[in-house]
């Protein structure tokens, strides 16, 4: 006799899979299950884990499942509900995830990539709220900004657009790839094969690489950073660089701010092109301290038109942004 309508949100991440259940119209999870992605998995193994997590949740929380939203950490053909491939796990090529879940659970299903759903999640429940300038608990999307660019800066740089309340996919589903816009045509070669993309200049591994290059070229500089890594260049990460910068290491600070400047330049270009109301930045690199944030904002302002406002704020939902986006996606199917 329980006819509560339930929405299921699924997130296939690179290192973990998460399923969560909410009542329609509510802003809190009824239940949430997570499992580490097994080493040497394939697509079928990942799907099996997710189906079990979903079944556990549905068994524990009576009600009627009404829709499923799915976030996938890799390229997705949104219109056809296909995963195009995974950069981490074999076997996902053209996997019909939407139709498979629809056949199993008998409700509408939609699948999108994690950057787009991170954007939708932040727009609907997080830093896309008009009055929210700082991290806040998830709440209703009724007061969301009209347009939002979401950028995640971690091991790569991903992005997604929400325009007038909807994800903007672009003609081929490639909209939002700010990580592969070019800010230095003479820069290093990016994973995409071109030079000087935002990603190869500003992501976490890029910050580590830039620091390593500087330490190699300037044997007397960066004493504190060298101390932090005990002179083991292979152990150097972006976290070491931001910590050394915060603790006053001049070389580390220069490296960190150069990366921030390149990201800010890319954001400035995006602002001139699309004039979004707000830019939301998430991912581990955004924890690099106030100097990093100030330089991102300064460079964005310096590289866009003076008439354009630069409203760049931290993400509010952390790693859960795509999961919240999957909930918003499920909601949009009703």
Please, which residue, 68 or 201, has the CB nearer to Zn ion? Answer: 201
2 contacts 62 by C-beta, under 8 angstroms: yes
Instruction: Give bridge partners of residue 95 from the DSSP assignment.
Output: 83
Q: Fill in the per-residue mask, 195 to 214: x = in contact with Zn ion (CB under 5 A), - = not in contact.
A: --x-----------------
Is 189 an interacting residue with respect to Zn ion (CB under 5 A)?
no
- Give the closest residue to 215 by CA, choosing from 189, 239, 236: 236
Strands 166-168, 278-282: pairing kind: unpaired
Distance from C-alpha of 15 to C-alpha of 19, rounded to nearest angstrom: 14
Binding test (CB under 5 A) with Zn ion, winner from 174, 192, 235, 305: 192
60 belongs to the binding site for Zn ion (CB under 5 A): no
218 Cα distance to chain centroid = 34
Q: Closest approach of Cβ 190 to Zn ion, in Å? A: 3
Nearer to Zn ion, 158 or 282 (CB): 158
Q: Given CA atoms 254, 256, 262, 264 in this order, what sign does their dihedral have?
A: negative
CB of 286 to Zn ion, least distance (A): 20
Q: How far is the CB of 201 from Zn ion (least distance, A)?
A: 10
CA distance 168 to 177: 12
Contact between 115 and Zn ion (CB under 5 A)?
no
CA–CA dist 323, 325 (Å, integer): 5
Q: Is 240 in the site for Zn ion (CB under 5 A)?
A: no
Contact between 120 and Zn ion by CB under 5 A: the answer reads: no
Smallest distance from Zn ion to CB 159, Å: 12
Residue with tokens 């509560």: 4
Of 47 and 115, CB closest to Zn ion: 115
CA–CA dist 293, 269 (Å, integer): 17
How far apart are CB 179 and Zn ion at their closest, in Å?
6
Kindly tell me which of 109 and 183 has the beta carbon lying closer to Zn ion: 183
190 binds Zn ion (CB under 5 A): yes
Residue with tokens 């070019």: 182
**Order of strands across the sheet that contains 312-314:** 166-168, 157-163, 147-153, 278-282, 312-314
**Nearer CB in complex with Zn ion: 186/230:** 186
Rounded to a whole number of angstroms, the minimum distance from the CB of residue 240 to Zn ion is: 24
| Nearest-approach distance from CB 104 to Zn ion, in angstroms | 37
Q: What is each CA distance from 71 to 9, 74, 185, 252, 313, in whole angstroms?
A: 8, 9, 33, 35, 23
Contact status: 174 vs Zn ion (CB under 5 A): no
By C-beta, is 141 or 283 nearer to Zn ion? 283
The verdict on 180 binding Zn ion (CB under 5 A) reads yes
CA distance to 30, 68, 164, 211, per residue, from 24 (Å): 11, 11, 22, 48
Is the Cβ of residue 57 or residue 115 nearer to Zn ion in the bound state? 115
Q: Which is nearer to Zn ion, 147 or 181 (CB)?
A: 181
- Residue 182 touches Zn ion, criterion: CB under 5 A: no
Residue ranges in contact with Zn ion by CB under 5 A: 180, 190, 192, 197
């Amino acid at each position: 006799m329980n006819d509560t309508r339930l929405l299921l949100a699924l997130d296939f991440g690179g290192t973990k899979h998460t399923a969560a259940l909410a009542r329609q119209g509510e802003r809190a999870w009824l239940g949430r299950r997570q499992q580490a992605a097994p080493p040497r998995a394939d697509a079928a193994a990942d799907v099996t884990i997710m189906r079990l997590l979903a079944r556990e949740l549905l068994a524990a929380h009576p009600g009627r499942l009404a829709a499923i939203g799915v976030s996938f950490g890799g390229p997705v053909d949104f219109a056809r509900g296909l995963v195009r491939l995974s950069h981490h796990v074999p076997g996902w090529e053209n996997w019909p995830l939407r139709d498979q879940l629809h056949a199993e659970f008998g409700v509408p299903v939609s699948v999108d990539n994690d950057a787009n759903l991170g954007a939708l999640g932040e727009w609907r429940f997080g830093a896309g709220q008009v009055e929210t300038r700082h991290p806040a608990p998830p709440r209703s999307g009724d007061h969301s900004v009209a347009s939002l660019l979401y950028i995640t800066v971690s091991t790569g740089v991903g992005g997604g657009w929400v325009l007038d309340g909807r994800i903007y996919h672009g003609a081929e589903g490639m909209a939002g790839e700010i990580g592969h816009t070019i800010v230095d045509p003479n820069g290093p070669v990016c994973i995409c094969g071109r030079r000087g993309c935002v990603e190869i200049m500003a992501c976490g591994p890029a910050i580590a690489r830039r620091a390593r290059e500087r330490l190699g070229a300037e044997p007397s500089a960066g004493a504190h950073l060298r101390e932090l890594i005990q002179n083991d260049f292979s152990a150097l990460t972006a976290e070491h660089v931001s910590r050394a910068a915060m603790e006053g290491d001049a070389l580390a600070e220069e490296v960190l701010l150069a990366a921030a400047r390149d990201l800010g330049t890319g954001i400035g270009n995006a602002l001139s092109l699309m004039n979004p109301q707000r830019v939301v930045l998430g991912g581990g690199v955004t924890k690099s301290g106030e100097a990093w944030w100030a330089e991102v904002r300064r460079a964005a302002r310096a590289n866009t038109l003076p008439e354009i406002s630069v409203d760049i704020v931290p993400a509010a939902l952390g790693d859960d942004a795509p999961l919240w986006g999957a909930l918003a996606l499920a909601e949009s199917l009703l």
